[in-house]
Structure 1
Amino acid sequence: MTTPLTPTPSHRQFGRRALLAAAPAGVLGAAAASSAPAAATQTAAVAGTHDALLPSAASMMRTIEHLVSIAPRKTGTPGGRKAAEYVASRLRAAGMDKVWIEKSTSYSWEATEASLVVGGQKIDQTPISYSLIGGPEATGVRTLGPQGLQAEVVDLSQQPLSALSRLDVRGKIVMIDLIFLTPLLALSPLMEFLNDPSGEILDAQTLLTANPYITTLPYTIDALQAAGAAGMIGVLSDYFDSNKYHNEYYRRSPMEIPGMWITAGEAVRVRSLLDTEPTATMRLTTRRRKVVARQPIGVIEGRTKDTIMVQSHHDSMGPGAVEDGSGTSEVLALAEYYGALHRRGIRRDKTLMFTTFDTHFTGYQAHDHFGRKYVLDEETPYRIVANDTIEHIAKKGRVGPDGELLLLDEVEPRGFFEDLSIEGKSMIIQTILRHDLRATTMLNAQAMQPVGIPTDASWAVICGVPTVSLIAGPIYLYDEADTIDAIAQDELVPILKANRDIIDWFEQTPSERIGLVAVPPLT
């Protein structure tokens, strides 16, 4: 979930490198809490004035339903283009001063003629997204041909990746587990504040449930290809009973070999078949095209070009209700709210920019392009001084006792990654409490600045833009199971109000005081 942008020292002018960057998270949280009341009171007083102009949950649900109706919204496909144009049209209707679509280059991928046969039996599978490609920017059709790839299968499932070093897998198909690497517990060192009065986060199963986007897949691809493997059967061992897992493209680890996802249950069947016939036949044809990524952008001009950016992403591999119809609905609702204020003659000092990104699944090229053009190279008039990113308003997902997906009537644990000043941290804590955002944490993004954070705002953190990024990681996020039923509808308006308050604090705060205080150079 990160981008390869490398900021230069001149782009830390808003306090990116912090005097408190190395302080323990608990200390930061305590400090923020102690200074909270004064800052929060001002924000709350301003924010509460215009609540009647906020769109309703029903309005946001209609946005999500429309986005699901045109899914999949893949980059470079008709669905992706429709989604970008839909967001642009909504921004125009909301009363933006300017609306345009920022274009960049990405690469689409589609699979056809996919099958897996073991011991004469057809195996239920889904092609691993972005497998059987020729390289990072390679395009064209690649195929295993009508006869397919017939090869011996080496079963490394239920074994560590290190076991690969003891085996000769050249020309063979390797069956291996996909491991989700980051349970909620792994984020605890970054936690600055936790609002969990009902114990929803501190529940043991919740703490140990991992998100589906930080995985062993890139490491596995690199290791298998270095060892000369001919193909991969990926076992979704940490997953519910589905093989409809749509992984992201890891552009540092292009997958030139073919791959198939199977469920843990289907893996048991495959092992039984391999006992009598240790070979498999894979058939797969893929097509990769160079495509145009589209990022709709709308702005409400302020008195200055200091710009508050509000973002999500509109693309999806499946229905994409939570991922990220929910985030897009929040961005559009905020655009409508501030557009209504603008029409009433309320003008702000800072410019507001609303946008949804493309290329979330195809390599984050749009994010890379935007970060370079708008921040690092400063090619536009807009000086982005703060970023507010909203993703995944989700019901909690859990794997049931028989491997089924359970959607609970609880919100999926979520966190605000942030790298704000102490006053900003205080504001976030008070915002969480004021809007009763339960199962919610505040996470230190500054500690991850060199490598980015696991959200769509990673580019902003890497570029040194002070950022607040709301994220949740339900296990079904990259699956066909991400449907309307997964939306935490009761949370749509509280999240809307919370982000409104964050934006208003950005407006009220001098730009140079939004981020952490800069470390003076050593002399």
Structure 2
Amino acid sequence: MSILEWIETITARGIRRPGYPADEWTERWLAERLAGFGLDVALEPVELTRWRPGAGVLRLDTGEELPGFPLPFTAPTSGLRARFARLEEAEPGDIAVEEVAFTELPQSLVRALATAYYDPEGVFDTLVQTIPFGPRMMEVVEPAMARGAAGYVGALTGLPWETRDYYVPYDAVERPIPGLWLSGGDGRALLDRLPAMGTIVAESVSDTVTTHNVVATLPGSSPYWVIVGSHHDGPWASAVEDATGIALVLESARRWARVPQSERPHNLLFLFTSGHMAHAAGTRAFIEAHRDLLADVVLQVHLEHAALRCEGVDGRLVPTADPEVRWWFTTRAPRLERLVVETIAAEGLRRSLVLPPDAFSPMPPTDGAFFHPEGVPLVHFLSAPMYLFDSADTVDKVDVAGLEPLAGAAFRIVRGTAGWDPASLREADEARIHPH
């Protein structure tokens, strides 16, 4: 099968949240594919919180009814009646209503944070990217809680398409008040009527389940390791987030399985983690279970989100012919950065920025972020299209033209580590941070 056919196969199973049947199916499917390539495969258990939404609706006392989507990991309610008021005017006991817009990120600013970039079109001077978070990232409910609100309603009025299917927050932190997302049109209708009395229903169930990391290995020609990974769950059927990452890592395994052991630069571990949508539970579990391996890891490569840039047209998302901006979070070791820059250019991966792992926050915004504070050298590919956590993440949003070049880039980067050892990369990064 082609990389795209794998993506289509995965998304056809339906919603792939951690612990859902489609995610369990994906674990088994991956294990079968990897074993068929000739890899040694293990399913390693990961315990996490599974969150499942039920009914979501807002009813005003006037009789109007607006459909909603419960905010992940907020408290369930079968009916909370209170006064609705704008967040800035909310009093204790109210249901706070907030207009939510996503952050507009000029790429000229991101370019200033980059160590290198590949922009043959010269678009970064003017290109503005809409990323799938507001300015508070996942802390959407916290201001309402600070005001003593009894509930929260997020009106997605600032998005360029109509949706209420926004799967944020996904940090598995349970908030003690209920929350509901409304689409932009319904949100504006509510805001025009505030303050008003009414009721929200935001039903959900949380329980603890056991999922699995899929871990597959190939022996190489050195005593060291390279890890190539992504996560296998997603918020919806989620073609970009992260069926594309699954397929790219699977393709990496297929390609390296065809290479003789003597020509593999290091032992190779292909990691498909569970529970990205539950605070990267699988990545954290893998690190805890394999801490003794980390000192021998030359590089951890992470592949997420081969995405097309979209535009909002008449309340819907329309894919363009261009890829979403590509971020390559790369440990500050000169030869590693040079390898990544040369690879991006060789594969023609336009609209690429090479960024330090801590460019935006102490860790990169990837599922593999927790390798960074452990001192593991990394190259993390990620794009962040505005529909990333929405049910609009369908196969037509996949950057099909970028799949083979991205797979080629991952192969080149791993091959380029031949003769490297973990200590020298770590020393290079340490020398940069603490120059003599």
TM-score category of the 2 structures, normalised to the smaller one = over 0.9
1:224-279 per-position Cα deviation (integer Å, ceiling 9, x unaligned): 2232211111011332211111124234x53221111112222221123446xx11
Residue of structure 2 in register with 1:120 after alignment: 63
Quick check: 1:174 aligned with 2:96? yes
Provide the rounded CA distance (Å) in 2 between the counterparts of 1:404 and 1:77. Answer: 28
Residue of structure 2 in register with 1:50 after alignment: none
Higher share in strand: 2
Quick check: 1:371 aligned with 2:371? no
Q: 1:202 aligns with which of 104, 122, 125?
A: 125
Conserved 8 A contact 2:256-2:264: no
Quick check: 1:407 aligned with 2:341? no
Provide the rounded CA distance (Å) in 2 between the counterparts of 1:510 and 1:217. Answer: 37
CA shift, 1:215, in A, is 4.7
Residue of structure 1 in register with 2:395 after alignment: 484
Provide the rounded CA distance (Å) in 1 between the counterparts of 2:337 and 2:294. Answer: 29
Provide the rounded CA distance (Å) in 2 between the counterparts of 1:238 and 1:168. Answer: 21
Using structure 2 for the length normalisation, give the TM-score: 0.92
Change (3 A) 1:297 1:331: same
Provide the rounded CA distance (Å) in 2 between the counterparts of 1:193 and 1:517. Answer: 17
Residue of structure 2 in register with 1:326 after alignment: 244
Change (3 A) 1:522 1:484: closer
CA shift, 1:348, in A, is 3.1
Percent identical pairs in the alignment equals 23
Quick check: 1:460 aligned with 2:381? no
- Partner-residue secondary structure (3-state), 2:418: helix
1:131-280 equivalences under 5 Å are 131-132=74-75, 142=76, 144-145=77-78, 148-156=79-87, 163=88, 167=89, 169-181=91-103, 183-185=105-107, 186-203=109-126, 206-207=127-128, 209-213=129-133, 215-216=135-136, 218-239=138-159, 240-251=161-172, 253-274=173-194, 278-280=196-198
- Partner-residue secondary structure (3-state), 1:187: helix
Quick check: 1:129 aligned with 2:72? yes
Residue of structure 1 in register with 2:345 after alignment: 433
Q: How many residues align?
A: 431
Letter of the structure 1 residue corresponding to residue 32 of structure 2 = S
Letter of the structure 1 residue corresponding to residue 278 of structure 2 = T
Provide the rounded CA distance (Å) in 2 between the counterparts of 1:294 and 1:452. Answer: 24
Quick check: 1:418 aligned with 2:336? no
Higher gyration radius (CA): 1
Residue of structure 2 in register with 1:386 after alignment: 299
Provide the rounded CA distance (Å) in 2 between the counterparts of 1:106 and 1:500. Answer: 32
Conserved 8 A contact 2:156-2:183: yes
1:34-80 per-position Cα deviation (integer Å, ceiling 9, x unaligned): xxxxxxxxxxxxxxxxxxxxxxxx61011101110112111112111
Quick check: 1:106 aligned with 2:48? yes
Change (3 A) 1:214 1:81: farther
Q: Which runs of 4+ in 1 moved over 4 A?
A: 520-523
Provide the rounded CA distance (Å) in 2 between the counterparts of 1:331 and 1:222. Answer: 36
Provide the rounded CA distance (Å) in 2 between the counterparts of 1:416 and 1:521. Answer: 23
Using structure 1 for the length normalisation, give the TM-score: 0.77
1:158-214 per-position Cα deviation (integer Å, ceiling 9, x unaligned): xxxxx4xxx4521111101234347254533421112112234333xx42x331146
1:385-423 per-position Cα deviation (integer Å, ceiling 9, x unaligned): 2101111111112233x4432210111111111014211
Q: Which runs of 5+ in 1 are unaligned?
A: 1-57, 133-141, 157-162
Conserved 8 A contact 2:297-2:422: no
Conserved 8 A contact 2:220-2:262: no
Change (3 A) 1:154 1:320: same
Provide the rounded CA distance (Å) in 2 between the counterparts of 1:168 and 1:285. Answer: 23
Provide the rounded CA distance (Å) in 1 between the counterparts of 2:169 and 2:33. Answer: 28
Quick check: 1:514 aligned with 2:425? yes
Q: 2:278 aligns with which of 362, 367, 384?
A: 362
Residue of structure 2 in register with 1:310 after alignment: 228
What is the RMSD of the two structures over their aligned residues, measured on CA atoms?
2.3
CA shift, 1:478, in A, is 1.0
Residue of structure 2 in register with 1:11 after alignment: none
Of residues 59-68 and 511-520 in structure 1, the stretch that sits farther from structure 2 once superposed is 511-520
Conserved 8 A contact 2:328-2:354: yes
- Partner-residue secondary structure (3-state), 1:341: coil
Change (3 A) 1:412 1:169: same
Change (3 A) 1:480 1:522: closer
Letter of the structure 1 residue corresponding to residue 170 of structure 2 = Y
Change (3 A) 1:102 1:418: same
Higher normalized contact order (CA 8 Å, seq sep 6+, divided by chain length): 1
CA shift, 1:346, in A, is 3.9
Provide the rounded CA distance (Å) in 1 between the counterparts of 2:372 and 2:110. Answer: 17
1:452-485 per-position Cα deviation (integer Å, ceiling 9, x unaligned): 1111221111211100001111111111111110
Change (3 A) 1:332 1:217: closer
Provide the rounded CA distance (Å) in 1 between the counterparts of 2:334 and 2:434. Answer: 21
Provide the rounded CA distance (Å) in 2 between the counterparts of 1:120 and 1:235. Answer: 19
Provide the rounded CA distance (Å) in 1 between the counterparts of 2:296 and 2:269. Answer: 11
Conserved 8 A contact 2:100-2:134: no
CA shift, 1:347, in A, is 4.7
Conserved 8 A contact 1:200-1:413: no
- Partner-residue secondary structure (3-state), 2:18: coil
1:263-297 per-position Cα deviation (integer Å, ceiling 9, x unaligned): 2222221123446xx11211232210101131101
Q: Which runs of 5+ in 2 are unaligned?
A: none
Provide the rounded CA distance (Å) in 2 between the counterparts of 1:103 and 1:197. Answer: 45
Residue of structure 1 in register with 2:23 after alignment: 80
Conserved 8 A contact 1:71-1:316: no
Conserved 8 A contact 1:177-1:234: yes
